Structure 1
């Protein structure tokens, strides 16, 4: 069944015409709150006018974030109606505000471009179908998101529990899409996708891809750290051996031949496995007294 358009609107009645605030590097999703900074004169005037009225505005992401003064042509047609909850003005004239997303809307046509954009809109609540499929998709999304949080140092541990406690699939989709490490274009794609089952599937794909990237990155980091740790350990042991040899008076006698053998190994350009074996035997040679029969055998082997 389709959601009631008023669900989640917090008692606000959304008019047919609203000011449009373009977003360059951000996006507002329904049922989520987003902090925004407004600095352009036309955007500051828009916010000032909105605050004198019902505090409602439509926030729409730009197709090209590099454009500073957005025109209707570079804006997506699907956005979110939001209400300004908190606002603070800085000394430099910029405005910092917290906006709560209410409902997804589509732009029908433009009624004004100056001093800021205004458009006629229509509400576009997501269609939610009840059943085992949507519940299974919801659970899968939360599970993958939980794994993503577990391998990420930049995501709070309490996010998965917050997602599990949300009342319906729409809230789950928009909450996770807003806090997961996704690009703005990906969040816009989630916003535009219909119905909620397709929205859940697309979000699941995006989360799985990000999880795979982070797990691989962590594996590479761990392997690199292990290699460095082994090299540091080997260096420490070699230094200990040299100290012992100095104490025993053997270093001067054997240092020349060891240096020569090491040079020969480096210049031979051996395959990786053969090089590791040669270095291993050379390390053994360093620790063997020149007077020992094993010293001669190892030297001959090298």
Structure 2
């Protein structure tokens, strides 16, 4: 795939607290009618879907008027185009699909709703490197694994450590940002990192901060 293969407009799948990274795989369960339509339209065309996060502050807003339809939540500026690589249609008309992350994009402007889902003009020219061979990252891998172990222990998460330790560096730096349950803004920072080395530094910082022991009397979770 080249930038020339990317359509200037994509259907969007806004998904909270989820990012798709280039060269990563993301399984999705598609059951809402608007996103069933999105998948069907993508399969009839480029097979590409624009994964993007809603801004959390927009998701939490309440306009207080139950008689008016809720406004569409604002979106982050950067998303990632994912290509549908597998699709299973269930007997109830819903889909299980897998996306392969291709290239990040900048959202220029939305162009309205089509069959219920949002569409937007996009520009991926700043992210052409996503379509080239991956770089060899330079980072302290043992320190990151140690921080990840501390992070998982503090939050009671299980992990298949034998699998994690066998991943190559690129796979590790693609997988961890997607599976670690960081807040939306932190996941967005990982998505927007300019290079694998930048992502490694951001990931290390997030794991270090999240894995520290809380102060006496402090909660592990901020108040909602």
TM-score of the alignment, normalized to the shorter chain, above 0.5: yes
Flag the 1:30–1:205 CA change in 2: closer, same or farther, 3 A: same
| Aligned residue number for residue 139 of structure 2 | 136
Secondary structure at the residue paired with 2:20?
coil
The TM-score, its normalising length taken from structure 1, stands at: 0.54
Flag the 1:70–1:37 CA change in 2: closer, same or farther, 3 A: farther
Higher helix share: 1
| Aligned residue number for residue 192 of structure 2 | 192
Higher relative contact order (CA 8 A, sep 6+): 2
Flag the 1:62–1:154 CA change in 2: closer, same or farther, 3 A: same
Per-residue deviation, residues 13-42 of structure 1 (Å, max 9, x unmatched)? 322222111113432222211111222221
Match of 1:49 among 41, 60, 63: 41
Secondary structure at the residue paired with 1:158?
helix
Shift of 1:89: 2.5
| Aligned residue number for residue 289 of structure 1 | none
Higher strand share: 2
| Aligned residue number for residue 268 of structure 1 | none
For residues 193 and 49 of structure 1, the distance between their equivalents in structure 2, rounded to whole angstroms, comes to 30
Contact 1:146 1:160 (C-alpha < 8 Å) held by counterparts? no
Contact 2:23 2:102 (C-alpha < 8 Å) held by counterparts? yes
The TM-score, its normalising length taken from structure 2, stands at: 0.71
Contact 2:139 2:200 (C-alpha < 8 Å) held by counterparts? no
Match of 1:125 among 105, 113, 127: 127
| Aligned residue number for residue 160 of structure 2 | 156
| Aligned residue number for residue 254 of structure 1 | none
| Aligned residue number for residue 83 of structure 1 | 83
Match of 1:27 among 19, 29, 34: 19
Q: Which moved more, 1:95-104 or 1:113-122?
A: 113-122
| Aligned residue number for residue 16 of structure 1 | 8
| Aligned residue number for residue 108 of structure 1 | 108
Larger radius of gyration: 1
Flag the 1:213–1:93 CA change in 2: closer, same or farther, 3 A: farther
Structure 2 residues not aligned, in runs of 5+: 62-68, 217-224
1:58 aligns with 2:50: yes
Shift of 1:139: 6.3
For residues 157 and 138 of structure 1, the distance between their equivalents in structure 2, rounded to whole angstroms, comes to 14
Flag the 1:91–1:111 CA change in 2: closer, same or farther, 3 A: same
CA RMSD of aligned residues (A): 3.6
Structure 1 residues not aligned, in runs of 5+: 217-302
Work out the number of aligned pairs and report it: 199
1:206 aligns with 2:206: yes
